[in-house]
Amino acid sequence: MSGLFRIILYALVAYFIYIIVKSYQSLKQSKKGRRRPSSKPSIMVKDPACNTYLPKEDALKETYKGKDYFFCSAECRDRFYETKKKKG
């Protein structure tokens, strides 16, 4: 009787180990599956006319007095030059 009990106990232990390993493997797999391919990181630049941040590739680049400025639109660029002109 004690021999049979021991076999059942071993079977239970083996079963629990099996479940732990299985859940651990599925956890690893789900982590892998959740990982999304990272898109290209875009540098954010500030539009000094409307104070909006936008991706550098979408921005209108203008060089003013040796400094690079980025604008969301031509209107903002014009507005920027207007204010620079007014100030002198």
Residues lying near Zn ion in the complex (CB under 5 A): 47, 49-50, 72, 76
Q: How far is the CB of 47 from Zn ion (least distance, A)?
A: 4
- 42 close to 53: Cβ distance less than 8 angstroms: no
- Choice between 28 and 84, CB closer to Zn ion: 84
- Choice between 32 and 61, CB closer to Zn ion: 61
- Choice between 16 and 53, CB closer to Zn ion: 53
Residues in CB range of 61: below 8 A, 6 or more apart: 68, 69, 70
Residues in CB range of 56: below 8 A, 6 or more apart: 42, 43, 44, 45, 70
Q: How far is the CB of 57 from Zn ion (least distance, A)?
A: 16
Q: How far is the CB of 59 from Zn ion (least distance, A)?
A: 9
